Amino acid sequence: MTSSAIISHPIKSIADLPVDETLATALLSSMSEYSDQLHGRRLWLACSGGRDSLALAALCVQLYQQGKLPCLPQLLHVDHGLQSDSQYWAKHVANWAQAQQIPCCILQAQVNGHDEQAARQARYNIMRAHINQDDVLLLAHHADDQAETVLMRLIQGAGVNGLSGMQPWRVQTQGVQCNILWRPWLTIRRANISAYAKRLELPYIDDPTNDSGDNVRSGLRRDIMPILATYNHNVIDNIARSAQLLSDAQETVNAQAMQDMQQTENTDLQLLPAQRVLNIDTLQKLPMYRQRQLLHYWLGQDEPLPPAKQLVDDVLTLSQRDNQDHQTELFWQGRKASYTIRRYRQQLYRMSSDWLSWLNVPLTEQVLTLSSNSSSHSANNLTSFIVRSSDSYTWQLQVKPYALVRLLENSVDGVAQQIVLKVAPLDRKQRLKTEMAARPQAGKKLYQTLGIPLWLRESLMVVSITLIKKSEDGSEIETDIPLLLASPFESWLLSSEQTDSDAKSNQLAEYIKSELSLK
C-alpha cells in the first residue's frame, strides 16, 4: 500500500542528472561562508520527504558525486503519527535514500498536542536527542518560508528580533547540549525548488495540510501571499531582504544591550542561569529606550524565544516603584524553563523554577569532631559537608581537618582536648553579631541589616566551633565560637563574646569562607 500524497514518479538514481546552478551556488556559497564552523562537524539533514527537503537531499547527492561536497549528510525523517499515512511516508523516504546511497534514519516522535507548533517542537526534540554535541542540522527553509515567518511574527506583534526571521546559521542550546541549525536556501524562491524537483521527477510527499489554510502559516501561503504579490511581484524577495536588514539591526541592539548589561548586572549575586540580577540604580541612569532593550535582552537570556512586550513593560514598572513592597512576583513561562522576577531593594532578580525549588530544600545540620593533635590527621584528607543538594545544584563546604586544627593551634588560646566543627541552619531567634552591626541581632533586624531577600532567608547557615577543655578540677569547659554566617552568595564574619579578640577567629572564618562552593 502507498499514499496518495506521494507524487507518482518512480524512485530512481539522480546522481548523474543535471544540477540546478542557482540552488547549488546558494548551498556552496553558504558552505564557504561557514567553512570554519563546519570543519570537523557531523552533518545531518532534516528530511520530511516533502519537495523542499527532498530537493536539498538530492542536490547534496549530486554535488557529492561531483566532488563539490566533502561528505554526504545523513537524513533524519521523523514520523510523529499525526497523518494516517505517516508510516508509508517514512518507508518511502527510506527507500528513496537507499536508491541514492545516502544514509537515512527514521525516528519516532510523540507529540504533546495536535497543532503544527507541537509537531514542530516534537520533531526538533527527537532529532536533537538523536544527534551528537556540536553536530549540524541542515534545513531546507527558503525565501517563501522566511516571508511567511516574518508575516506571522508581524501579526503577533514581534519586535526587531522576531521580524529578523530565521537565521542562516543559528547555534541552538538546550541544557548542556549545543547544536547548529544551518539554512543555506533562505535566499532561494520556492518556485526555483519546484522547478528543480520537476526536472528531476522527484517523488516527493505533497502533504495536504501545507496548503489547507487551517493554521496561520498555511493560511498566509494560500490566501495572503498571492494578494500581496498582486501589489508587488517581488514581495517575497523584499520581505526576505527586510528580514536581513532587521537581523543586522538586531545585532546592533544586542551589542548595545550586552554592553549595558555588563555595566548593570550584579555578578556577586548571580548563579547562571539559575539567578540573574540587575542593579536598578544603574539601570535607571540609562535612557528609557535602552532600559527597555536591556530588560528585553536580560530576561531572554537562556531562552530560544524572547519575552513578550507586556512582560518587559511589567518588569520596567517593577523597577520604577519607589515603595518598600517586596512581595510582588512576575511569572514567565519560557520555552526551556519557567521564571519568577522579583525585586528586593535596588536589585531585580530573574530566578528559574529549578532554582526556587532548590531554595526550598531544607538545610542539613552537620558536625565534625576533630582531634586537637594535628599530627593525627593526614594533610591531604578532605571532609565534605553537603549543606543542600538537588539534581541541579549543590552547596557544600570542603575542609581539610589537618589545616583546620593547625589554624586552631595558632589562633586560639590554650589547648583543647576536643574540637567540634558545626554547620547548622540559622535559627530565627539566634542572635549574631556581624561587622555591620554594633550589637548582636536576630530575625528580621538581622535580615534587614544584611540585605537578605525574602526568598533567601531560609538559606542562611552558621558555621561555628566548640572547644572542649579540662578545668583544674577535672570538669569540662565548652567554648562556642561562631565563625561565619553564610548564604549561597555572601558570607559574613561573626564576632563572639567568648573570645578575647575577633582576630583569633577571623583567620578560621576566612579559611571556611574560601572552602564554600555552590555549583
Q: Which residues are annotated as a binding site?
A: 48-53
Annotated binding site for ATP: 48-53
Whole-number Å distance between alpha carbons of 322 and 320: 6
Q: How far is CA 173 from CA 126, 129, 272, 468, in A?
A: 14, 12, 14, 54
Q: CB of 11 within 8 A of CB of 102?
A: no
* Lookup: cell for 1: 500500500
* Alpha-carbon 323 to chain mean position: 33
Which helix (H) or strand (E) covers residue 276, if one does?
strand 275-279
Cβ atoms within 10 Å of 158's Cβ, excluding its own = 20
Whole-number Å distance between alpha carbons of 464 and 450: 19
Whole-number Å distance between alpha carbons of 235 and 144: 10
From the list 180, 235, 193, the residue with the least C-alpha distance to 26 is 193
Residue 350 φ/ψ, nearest 5 degrees? -115, 115
Q: CB of 337 within 8 A of CB of 352?
A: yes
* Lookup: cell for 483: 565563625
What end-to-end distance do the CA atoms of the chain give, in Å? Answer: 56
Whole-number Å distance between alpha carbons of 160 and 245: 10
